[in-house]
């Protein structure tokens, strides 16, 4: 590492920003500018940073420190004393204006409006970088990729895709069109079609969408399908489990090879607290099933369509929880005749 300590003074001019934060704490493609700069300097061999800012900005500044950096922050009143101890005899380089790395250069800017104009250039830089590493981005003009995102070779990014945070996309995936992926790990060969996924881990060969919503703290096993109008949250799914459409599963532990019929939900909230549903391997959950936790469905069990499950179901059992059907011959004809007679009298 270079024997240099970069001291960054966050500009106090917040009049030209929309949220009262210094320019270096504004986002460019979902990532604070300060983080952009620190990572750019680290690529050039600098590994020690000291950020000078107001008390109210200390936490936001610290959140920008990249992994592997030696960084600290302090206020204008105390930084000279703190810096002497922190720099350890390094050569000090001071940065007193807002900068954003564009290509191989650090460009200064003086307002949020200027930053917006610079974002176009860095968006093109990011797209070009991924294209050089084997990623197929069909339309860079409609694709937005956070600089912290990693994408494997052979992956195709379709128009309207937004990749944010510390997302990692594997090899040979297809993301989009119109997909939002935030802070997720996506395994090789997976597809996310017109859906939103947040803070979750998807295995290999997973198919998501269209119009699915994966909320935080989900783990989706290899070969799973999270289909059309499916929402999952804080749930784990074993390999090969399928939720093809119109299903909500929250706060649940689901085994492998489970099939969910459409219209199935876990009623995980009782108005006061959340409860978990547990479903064993190979279970079959019929359409329009309500699972009222805490409840466990054993491996290989079969839940009949239209059932409300309020008690545990043992392995390989059939659970039926609905009113028995009764057919009344001629009832519909007689009702129509009564309606017709009423219309004639009126």
Cα atoms in the 13 Å half-sphere on the side-chain side of 52: 22
- Whether 245 is catalytic is yes
Query: What is the rounded distance in angstroms from the CA atom of residue 240 to the CA atom of residue 249?
Result: 16
Which candidate in 130, 207, 213, 245 is catalytic? 245
Longest dimension (CA), the chain: 103
Tokens of 145: 């990729």
Q: Is the peptide bond before 186 cis (omega within 30 degrees of 0)?
A: no
Q: Are strands 136-137 and 213-214 parallel, antiparallel or unpaired?
A: unpaired
Tokens of 316: 């390989």
Q: Is the peptide bond before 210 cis (omega within 30 degrees of 0)?
A: yes
Cα atoms in the 13 Å half-sphere on the side-chain side of 169: 35
Whose structure tokens read 């810096």?
Answer: 83
Catalytic residue positions?
245
């Amino acid at each position: 590492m270079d024997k240099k300590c970069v001291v960054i003074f966050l500009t106090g001019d917040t009049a030209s920003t929309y949220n009262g934060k210094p320019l270096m704490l504004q986002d460019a493609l979902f990532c604070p500018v300060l983080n952009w700069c620190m990572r750019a300097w680290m690529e050039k061999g600098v590994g020690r940073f000291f950020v000078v800012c107001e008390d109210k900005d200390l936490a936001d500044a610290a959140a920008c420190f990249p992994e592997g950096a030696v960084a600290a922050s302090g206020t204008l009143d105390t930084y000279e004393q703190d810096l002497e101890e922190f720099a350890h005899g390094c050569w000090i380089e001071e940065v007193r204006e807002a900068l954003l790395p564009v290509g191989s250069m650090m460009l200064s800017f003086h307002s949020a409006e200027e930053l917006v104009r610079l974002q176009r250039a860095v968006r093109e830089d990011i797209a070009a970088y991924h294209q050089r590493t084997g990623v197929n981005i069909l339309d860079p003009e409609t694709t937005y990729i956070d600089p912290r995102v990693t994408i494997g070779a052979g992956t195709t990014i379709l128009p309207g895709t937004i990749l944010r945070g510390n997302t990692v996309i594997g090899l040979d995936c297809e993301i989009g069109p119109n997909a939002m992926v935030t802070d997720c790990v996506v395994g090789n060969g997976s597809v996310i079609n017109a859906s939103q996924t947040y803070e979750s881990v998807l295995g290999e060969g997973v198919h998501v969408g269209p119009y699915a919503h994966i909320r935080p703290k989900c783990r989706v096993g290899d070969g799973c399908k999270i289909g059309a109008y499916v929402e999952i949250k804080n749930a784990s799914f074993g390999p090969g489990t399928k939720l093809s459409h119109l299903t909500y599963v929250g706060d649940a532990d689901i085994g492998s090879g489970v099939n969910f019929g459409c219209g199935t939900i876990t009623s995980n909230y009782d108005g006061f607290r959340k409860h978990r549903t547990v479903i064993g391997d190979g279970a079959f959950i019929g359409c329009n099933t309500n699972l009222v936790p805490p409840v466990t469905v054993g491996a290989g069990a079969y839940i009949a369509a239209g059932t409300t499950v309020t008690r545990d179901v043992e392995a390989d059992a059939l659970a039926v929880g609905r009113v028995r059907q009764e057919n009344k011959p001629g009832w519909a004809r007689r009702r129509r005749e009564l309606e017709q007679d009423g219309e004639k009298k009126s």
